[in-house]
Structure 1
Amino acid sequence: MSRPADPKARNALIGAARAEFARRGVKGARIGDITAACGLSKGAFYLHFPSKEALFGSLVEAFLGELERVGQERMACLERFRAEHGHPGPEDVSARTERYRDFLRLQAEQDRHMLELMWSSREVLTALIVGSQGTSFESVMWDVVDREVDRISQEFRHLWGCAMDTPDVEPRLFGSFVVGTYLLLARQMGRLTQKPDLATWASSLQRLMYEGTAPREPLSAAAFVAGPVSVSARTPPPPSTRRRHARAANPHRPPRKRP
C-alpha cells in the first residue's frame, strides 16, 4: 500500500523550492538541496512531484491564474466606475476633480492588489525573469509583458481620448514604460528581506503615470527652428560690467586710467 501524501510536507517542499529556484534558476536548482532545506528525503519529493520542472510549472500556473484573476477584477472595477461616473479626461487631471481623485484611488487600490501578488510570488517572478533561460518557461514572462503592454495601452487611449491622432505620448511606448517599471519592481522585490509599503508604491506610481503624461501645450515650430541662443547673439553687458569681470579675472592688472 502506497504511503499517503502529507500536505505539510508538500507545503515545505514548495517553500524550499521557491527559494532554490530564485537563487539558482530552474536549471541550477537541485532536488537534493530542496529536500535538505526542509529536512525531507528525495523519496518524499517524488511522492508529491514527478520532477523539479513539474513543481516549478505548478508554481507558474498558480501565479498566472492569480494574475488573470487580478486583471479581471481590475477591468470589472473600471467598467463599473465608467458606468457610474464616466471616464476622467485631461481636464479632470489638470483640475484634479473629484472624479479624477476617485479614479486615482481606484487605480491605486487595484495596483496594490497587483503589487501584493508580485510580493507573494517574488521568488517565482525572479526565476521567470532571470532563471528560466534555456527551459520551456523562458517565454512565459515575456508573454505576460506583451499582454500587459496591450492592456495599459488601451487604458491610456481611453484616458486621453481614442480620437487623438497625435498624442503627446505614444500609447504603446507608455505601456512599455509602465510594464518595464513593474518588471524592475518585481526584480527588486526578489532582493528585499522586508515587505515594502506597497500602498504608497501604488499611489505614487499612479500619480506619476497619469499626472506625468497629461497633455501639454505643444511648443511652437519657431522654438524648434530657433534653437538655443548663441553666445555671439546675446546682448553684450555694459562697459562697467565688462571692466568688473576683467578685474575679477586678473586682480593684478593695474586699473585703466580714465582720460
Structure 2
Amino acid sequence: MARPADPHARSALVAAARAEFARKGLRGARIEDITAACGLSKGAFYLHFPSKEALFAEVVGTFQSGLDALNERRMEQVERFFEEHGVPGPKDRREHSERFKQLIELEAASDLEVMEWVWDHRDVAVVLLSGSHGTEFESLLWRVTDAQVERIAQNFQRLQEAGAVDGKMDPHLFGSVIVGTFLLLSKQMARMQEKPDLKAWSRTLQRLLQEGTMPRLASSDDAPAEAPHEAPPHEAPRKAPARIRALSARASRPSSPSTRRPAARAKTRSTPRKPK
C-alpha cells in the first residue's frame, strides 16, 4: 500500500526548491539538494512531484494565478467605485477632487497588493529571467508577460469605454508599460536585502499612471489646422535684424563690372615662327 503524501512536506519542498532555483537556476538545481534543505528524502520528493520541472511549473502557475486573481479583484473594485461615485473626469483630475483622491487611494492599494505578491515571489521572476535558459521554460516568461499584457489591455479598454482614461491611448502599449515596470521591479527586489517601502512605490506609480492617462478635454489631433497668421493692416511687419538685412541685400545686389574679379589669364609660352 502506497504511503500517503504529507501536505506539510509538499510546502516544505516548494519553499526549498524556490531557494535552490534562485541560487543555481533550474538546470543547476538538484533534487537531493532540495530534499536535504528541508530534511526530506528523495523518495518523499517523488511522492509529490514527478520531477523538479513539474515542481517549478507549479510554482510559476501559483505566481501567475495569484496575479490574475489580484487584478480581477482590482477591476471589480474600480467598476464598483464608478457605479457608486461616478467616473472622475478631466476636471476631477486637474482639481484633485475628493472623488479623484479616493480613486487614487483605491488604485494605490491595489498596486500595493500586487507589489507585495511580487516581493513574495521575486525569486520566481529571477529564475524565469535568467535561470531557465536551455530548458522547456526558457520562453515561459514571455508567454506569462504576453498573457498579462493582454489582460491589462482588456481592462484598460473597459476603463476607456467608461470614460475614465484617455480614449486615444493604445491599450496594449499601456499594458506593456505596466508589465515591464513590474518585471523590472521584481528583478530589483531580488537584489535587495531589506524590503523597500512598497507603499511609497505604489503611490508613485499610481500618480504617474493617473496623471499620464488623464482624459483630455480636447485633443490636439482633433483641432482644425489654424490658418496662417496675417498681420492686421495697421500693424507694420517686423523688421529682420540689421545683420540679416545686410546679408540679404548683398546677396540680391547685381554685380557690376568694376567689382568683378578679372579672370585669370592662362599663361602660354610663345614659340618663334619658322621662316618659310
Once the two structures are superposed, residues 107-142 of structure 1 have per-residue CA deviations (whole angstroms, 9 ceiling, x without a partner) of 111111111111111222221222223333333332
Give 1:182 deviation, angstroms: 0.7
Per-residue deviation, 1:102? 0.8
Could you list the runs of 5+ residues in structure 1 that have no partner in the other structure?
223-232, 237-259
Q: Secondary structure at the match of 2:50?
A: coil
Task: Provide the aligned C-alpha RMSD in A.
Answer: 3.1
1:2 offset after TM fit, Å? Answer: 4.0
Matched, 1:46 2:46: yes
Output the amino acid matched with 2:87: H
- Following superposition of structure 1 onto structure 2, how do residues 83-122 of structure 1 map, counting pairs within 5 Å? 83-122=83-122
Query: Per the alignment, do residues 5 and 162 of structure 1 end up closer, same or farther by CA in structure 2, a change over 3 Å counting?
Result: closer
Query: In 2, distance between residues paired with 1:235 and 1:66?
Result: 71
1:69 aligns with 2:69: yes
Distance 2:6 2:201 in 1: 39
**Other-structure match for 1:185:** 185
How do 1:1-259 and structure 2 match up within 5 A? 1-156=1-156, 158=159, 161=163, 167=168, 170-214=170-214
Partner Cα distance (2:54, 2:125) in 1: 16
- Change beyond 3 A, Cα 1:156–1:7: closer
Report how far residue 17 of structure 1 moved.
Answer: 0.6
Under a length normalisation based on structure 2, what TM-score does the superposition of the two structures give? 0.69
Aligned residues: 224
Give deviations 1:50-71, integer Å, cap 9, x for gaps.
2101111121222222122112
Q: 1:64 to 1:235 in 2, by over 3 A?
A: farther
More displaced, 21-30 or 70-79? 21-30
Unaligned runs of at least 5 residues, structure 2: 227-239, 244-276
Identity of aligned residues (%): 53
Q: Which has the larger radius of gyration?
A: 2
Q: Distance in 2 between matches of 1:18 and 1:163?
A: 39
